[in-house]
Structure 1
């Protein structure tokens, strides 16, 4: 028997309802912030992610699903959403009107990593990207939109961790300081840190293997090397968050795992007394030169993303989902072959008018048909048999108030609309 590939999920029944509930809730909130949906291909040219994500990141160096197609082109299943959105932004010249462009996406991503709780090889990611201007107020509004999404989902036990990794002048100076600092002890750190020393020492601060090493914990902090402009920018972001009553914690060790970030970086983590405490649920930040590095104009961007499977898990553990089982408006019970045909036609008519209608396609005795009604928690039951067909009437049972009426078949829809 075939089984799903390791690290993937099937969504069906209640799990599919939960998935769509989250998607619909997110979409409703983010559209109120003026975002429009963008749908990009699931696979892209490999070079797009190497350039966009960074060849020293774990995603590019270890986790991408990459293959040669029949034209001998290197193709990669997208491991994240930002690079594809930037590519589309440029290819479709969305920048032509010099207006702020606000986009959101929702779709599958692929990373070859060890499957564990909340992590999968195919996972769904929601994200936003905004292009067009650098503004502390915009940074704050983007962060607030994520906060409002989680609030709409009922996830209130969150902590916003935020930092600045500086503008280009700040980072250039800081990178040299880090190189000098780590060089003398680099042999005590993991092989990835050794490889990153010269190419991108900022990534050493994000190391998962040696995260608790005093060498990393005692590394120089970016805040000591920020330009005045970078300090003022970050101060205004924090002031905007405070004005909107968004609590935050400045975390000087937060650098984010992707190479394209500048200035504001942030994460939302779970703040609780259980095993979920400290779990990162969302991350993002500003990127000033990514569009330019793709061959486009010098346009800044900012965005964030989070995984839907992790959100599902958090909501399940905290009983945050509403009752998603949809009750049938009507179940049709038919007592013979001709009544079955009539019921099928009636079901079609009622469905065309927006009602949720179901019927048993085989049984003509009442017991299994009443069981169907119970299972679907039907609000009304319509019984049709030989006598009803002859008299052109139906018997309708209201299961809520336990009343039964017989009406003309031409008045079924009118009756249901008045009583549902």
Structure 2
């Protein structure tokens, strides 16, 4: 039975993938990218499985135990899915409250039905999920904002660190898959042409939102806030309002402030005192483990609004542009520093374009929502994650969106056309 499920399940997945690829290859001006970019992502996932991280080994170990429970006690496995505890065959795993580690283990335990517990197949499945999310977002962006097709390919499908960290058996794989998928669906609902069956998109958005929140709730909260602001602005524009940029910015500010207040009323987790205390505790704990290695030094960080505001610029800059070229003594830090140097150059070009009044082929509200999402997470990660190696991994799911905004700007897109990068002519 198990062998039949593995062989039959994977055969159906391969058949569905083959048919899907055939349809995607027919997408005008984009289809010829689907096979090479998918191959790159799957190769990255396979390499990660060949040399798994300690986290990946841990996820796989417990996922196999969960799958064994599924085969032997399916009713008990279903109860485990909605609880924070696992007790079976002398193995016990207990989490107190929300845990994205436990959620990923549950996902892997279901995947094991088709993979047979193979780390390689699980890595390929999660890599495929992250690719599909990114691919659909590139398609939506290319259709809605045609001038940014190359930016979408370069940022979402080929940007090195985002590609490397969001493949294989990692939380970032599911985080990127759900985040890009949710963004694609929302943008199509807000800016796409009216079509029958839009309820399916709404249903898909709800499922993706749950996965995003389960994988990392503060990533989900930041994305929900940015998309809520975009939805309110878009609705106002359809009523003939919010045409000026300062009005759109004011609407976003009102939505963010009201959302923060509402979240603090719903759960104490989002109240400032508790949030600030948790932020500083996390930083202090990780900072002790980062001594002797390149890290973000915030020596007087305290759980107060003034202290957090004082260190926010340094936290954001560090999350975006560190490690610098002179930091670290390993190949990893060297490669990361070169990428960050390119990122700094693209940021400078984007600022130059803005100062010269060169508009990007994107609605201002879309740019604002993406930047709000990226800078919220850059702030949270920069203030809570001093280790630059860990930070490079954590930023992967949102860094691609920041790069997309940069590559969409006038100068960067002009250079891409001049050198025919990303298939642009």
Superposition TM-score, scaled by structure 1 size: 0.28
Instruction: Compare CA radii of gyration and give the structure with the larger one.
Output: 1
Larger proportion of strand: 1
Larger proportion of helix: 2
Superposition TM-score, scaled by structure 2 size: 0.28
The structure whose RCO (Cα within 8 Å, separation 6+) is larger is 2
